Every structure is written in C-alpha cells, then in structure tokens.
Amino acid sequence: MKNRPLISVIVPVYKVEPYLNRCIKSIVNQSWKELEILLIDDGSPDRCPELCDQWARKDSRIHVFHQKNRGLSGARNRGLDACHGEYLLFVDSDDWIAPDLCETTLSTSEKKSADIVVFGYMKYLKSTGKMLPDIYHYKSNTTVNGREAVRMLIQDKLNLAVWNKLYKRSLFHNIRFPEGICYEDIRVTFQLMQKAKTVCFLDSILYYYEKRKDGIMEEGSRENISDLFANEQWSYAFILQYFPEFSVEHRRRLGRAALTACRTAGLCEGTRAAADALREQKLCLSGKEASFFLHHEKIFWLVTDIRRFLKKCPPGVILWKLKWRILFQLFGKKLS
C-alpha cells in the first residue's frame, strides 16, 4: 500500500479500570502502525483518566480527550468530531483486538473497494472464562451492496454493533450516534449500510468482546428495553422511507422486538408502545409466545413479573425454563 492510509481508532472510556490496559495494548501493538488512537475519557470516576494520560505519554499516536459524562454515544461522537483518518474503527474499552485486525481489514477494503469491512469476533464470558464463537458466519471476501446489507440487518444475518466493522470515514458525514439512549448502534448501522456501495465480509476472528454482568447492556433495566423497541420503531420508519420493499420483513422483526421488550421488562411505561403494537395486532407475528400474549395477556404479565423475580436466584432459573411448557399444557387448545 503506497499511500499508507491512516486508521482512526475511537475508544470510549468509562469505569473500565481493570480492562483498559489490555484494550489499549492490543491497539498499540497492531501490525499496521499508521494509527490515530483517540481515548475518550467520558468523565470516568476511577483511575481511567490517569491511565489514558500515561499511555499518551508513551505513544505519540494516542490522543486523550477528557469530558463530562455524556454516555457511550457522546464519547463516540467526540471521537468522530476529532478524528482525521481515512478509515474508522470503534473498540470498546473492555474488549481487545487481534494484532492484525487493522492490517487485514484495510487490505481487504483496498482490494475490494469496500466502504465497510465486517469481521468475526469471539465473545468472552467473564463469569465462566469461556469463549463463544461469533453466531454470524460469512464466506471470506464475500461482497454485497448496501441494499442487500440492509436486508441482512432486517433478517438478523448481520450484527448491528459498530465494533466489528472497519469503515471509510466519509460514510459518517452527517451521521452521529443518538445520545441519551441505549442500543444506539441500531440507528447508526442502518444509515451506514444504506450509504455503503460495497460491504465486504471476512470469516477471520479479529475482535474479542467481553460480556460482563455489570456492563451497560447487561443491566437489563426497563429503560434499556424500551430504548430497544424505540430504536426498532425508528428503523421501521427508516425502511418505509428508503426500502419499502422490505417493510413486510421488518414488521416481523419489529414484532419480535415488541415481544422481547414485553417479556423482558414486563408492563411498564417504557413498554406500553410495544404492548399496544402487539395487542392491536399491527405487526406480523408468529410463534407460541406471541399467540399466548394475544390470548392470555393478563397471565402473560403475571408470568413476566414472576420471571424477573425468579431470575435473581439460581433455583428460579431452573424453574423458569419450565414456564412455557406448563402454560402451553394448560392453555394449548386456545393457541391453535
């Protein structure tokens, strides 16, 4: 590669003191050296700000930005506003990357003229120490256009997360992460895929994602679940505007998201929109759980409340696995 393009690596940092050094070390040790590493200290209350500054003194490629807490989206947006690279990579600060991630994905982008390169990842379960493989599998060097990539998102054949992809920075013109909500990747990824002319896939495992019980996405709060459905509603409106031919497929996706929100969070202010959508049967739904909701809504809400209680104790987890089998035996005739 004659021009040696620069890759900007954006790393939001917040309350990850035990993991931060591992993350930064995996970035600075990349085989591709033309990097701009942006560490965004999002008002972290631990030693993370100090650790960021220490790394900046060791490596001139590292630039540290300290700001008041704005959340994950706000930190990523600060990095987008400050970066200069031709390419972009997002790395969460409790994760780490393979030594050849940047070189491999950049080479692929150049050879395939790809705006986005999607790569494989492993999920590390901190509670058990086990590694789980990526559930998405692709044939290496397969390419699709943006329209087909959007359809893959709808069909759940493509991960919505932004951290397992290399992007041309030009795609982010007029696109920023929505602040103040969870599951913000949904909106951004749909927009980026729409703008991309070519998306290339690799089957290589290049990213290691740590799943923690104290992580943002593991909090399981009702607010987070309602954000999930709100973002899925946004994506449905997006599809209606730009890809109406995919609207029926997305209604199925929206139906599943509504059911997940209700099942996980129970009846609350944040899930009323999801419950209304299911109750009015405006969505394309299939499956026993959806039918159970439509026929036995009061029992459904009771079950979800019991679930939230039982999952707090190990015996409850075992009992919960039996829940639908018992209910189907009691009410199965009405579900047909």
Taking only the tens place, the pLDDT of each residue in 234-260 is 999 999 999 999 999 999 899 888 988
**Residue 285, Cβ neighbours under 10 Å: how many?**
20
Domain assignment present for residue 84? The answer is yes
| 24: pLDDT strictly greater than 90 | yes
What pLDDT score was predicted for residue 335? 43
Domain assignment present for residue 189? The answer is yes
Domain assignment present for residue 83? The answer is yes
Q: Which of 194, 216, 238 is where one domain is finished?
A: 216
How is residue 49 written in tokens?
Answer: 């700000």
| 222: pLDDT strictly greater than 80 | no
Reported as half-sphere exposure (CB side, CA atoms, 13 A), residue 193 has a value of: 30
Query: CA dihedral defined by 63, 68, 72, 73, rounded to 10 degrees?
Result: -90
48: exposed, middle or buried (Cβ count in 10 Å: 0-12, 13-18, 19+): buried
Q: What does the mean pLDDT of the chain come to? A: 88
Q: What is the DSSP letter of 214?
A: T
pLDDT band at 172 (very low <50, low <70, confident <90, very high): very high
What pLDDT score was predicted for residue 334? 46
CB 246 within 8 A of CB 154: yes
- Number of domain units in the chain: 2
Same domain, 124 and 80: yes
Q: Bigger pLDDT: 3 or 202?
A: 202
Same domain, 208 and 136: yes
11: enclosing H helix or E strand: strand 7-13
What pLDDT score was predicted for residue 319? 57
**Residue 175, Cβ neighbours under 10 Å: how many?**
13
| pLDDT over 70 percentage in the chain | 87
Same domain, 47 and 165: yes
| 101: pLDDT strictly greater than 80 | yes
- The H-assigned helical ranges of the chain are 17-28, 48-58, 71-82, 101-112, 146-154, 185-195, 222-242, 247-265, 272-279, 288-295, 297-310, 314-320, 323-335
The predicted model gives 188-193 an average pLDDT of 98
What pLDDT score was predicted for residue 327? 61
Q: Which of 190, 216, 242 is where one domain is finished?
A: 216
pLDDT band at 221 (very low <50, low <70, confident <90, very high): low
What pLDDT score was predicted for residue 130? 83
176: exposed, middle or buried (Cβ count in 10 Å: 0-12, 13-18, 19+): middle
The predicted model gives 153-177 an average pLDDT of 96
What pLDDT score was predicted for residue 247? 94
Domain span holding position 256 = 220-335
Domain assignment present for residue 2? The answer is no
| 129: pLDDT strictly greater than 60 | yes
